[in-house]
Chain A
Amino acid sequence: DGGITQSPKYLFRKEGQNVTLSCEQNLNHDAMYWYRQDPGQGLRLIYYSQIVNDFQKGDIAEGYSVSREKKESFPLTVTSAQKNPTAFYLCASTPGSSGNTIYFGEGSWLTVV
């Protein structure tokens, strides 16, 4: 079945460690996105990518990094520079940039201990 797969679902990290969240889609979508969701804050854009080997910072990119080496993959690294990384992370994709809707994965819960 087509869809967006995020892994792991739950992840615990010690302070000072980097962690990478995986996002894979088999929808042949061009654009991919990473959002962060905190209680009462809604969804905030971290990074997005319209094409392979190109990505742009979103509203809260500090402390995060991404890569887009393949069309179907858009991993997110939460670095030790991110001061408050505990959150629900959502990966999304869309066919293109002109009025298309965005579809989400099931999310990854990151807890810093």
Chain B
Amino acid sequence: QKEVEQDPGPLSVPEGAIVSLNCTYSNSAFQYFMWYRQYSRKGPELLMYTYSSGNKEDGRFTAQVDKSSKYISLFIRDSQPSDSATYLCARLDRGSQGNLIFGKGTKLSVKP
């Protein structure tokens, strides 16, 4: 039930790079996935929300769900120093009436 795995990093990239952040999950019944961005000492903010499989794009951000491999990804194009944060993936635990199950987060640093 708790199976959302995420590499904690840290991940360091130069400004302008394409960033790929990934999570894996184990229960194929999950359909709702979210990506949150959390700056240091702040609450998480919702970045992307995806349902089922496929891609969803919002500006420089693309969320991708591959249900066959149980893989969810967040791509950041033209990364900026302001993207430096911890990125949390989550899936909706419908058994707990709307509770989210989070990965441990990947810390990203974009160097100017």
Interface size on A, residues (CB 8 A): 29
B57 within 8 A of A: no
Instruction: For the complex formed, measure the closest distance between the CB of B58 and the CB atoms of chain A, giving whole angstroms.
Output: 14
Assess whether B43 is in contact with A94, with CB atoms less than 8 Å apart.
Answer: no
Give B6's nearest chain A residue, CB to CB.
A42
Interface string of B70-104 (1 = CB under 8 A from A): 00000000000000000010001010111110111
Known: A40-B104, A42-B88, A42-B103. A96 touches B98 (CB 8 A): yes
Most buried by B among A56, A90, A104, A109: A104
B1-15: CB near A (< 8 Å → 1, else 0) gives: 000001010000000
How many Å lie between the Cα of A40 and that of B98 in the bound state? Answer: 24
Q: Which one, B8, B43, B94, contacts A104 given CB within 8 A?
A: B43
Q: Residues of B contacting A90 with CB < 8 Å?
A: 43-44
Any A CB within 8 A of the CB of B17? no
- Cβ–Cβ < 8 Å partners of B46 in chain A: 101-103
User: Contact: A48 with B96, CB < 8 Å?
Assistant: yes
Q: How many A-B residue pairs have CB under 8 A?
A: 62
Q: A99, B43: Cβ atoms under 8 Å?
A: no
* Contact yes or no, B104 A107, CB < 8 A: no
The 5 closest A-B pairs by CB, nearest first: A97-B98, A104-B43, A42-B104, A97-B97, A43-B102
Using A42-B6, A58-B96 as known contacts, list a sample of 18 further A-B pairs with CB atoms less than 8 Å apart, ordered by residue number in A. A31-B97, A42-B103, A43-B44, A45-B96, A48-B96, A48-B97, A90-B43, A90-B44, A96-B98, A97-B98, A99-B51, A101-B46, A101-B49, A102-B98, A104-B44, A104-B45, A106-B42, A107-B41
29 of the cross-chain contacts (CB-CB < 8 Å) are: A6-B43, A40-B8, A40-B104, A41-B104, A42-B102, A42-B103, A42-B104, A42-B105, A48-B98, A48-B99, A50-B97, A50-B98, A56-B96, A58-B96, A58-B99, A97-B94, A97-B97, A98-B98, A99-B92, A101-B34, A101-B49, A102-B34, A102-B46, A104-B36, A104-B43, A104-B45, A105-B43, A107-B42, A109-B41
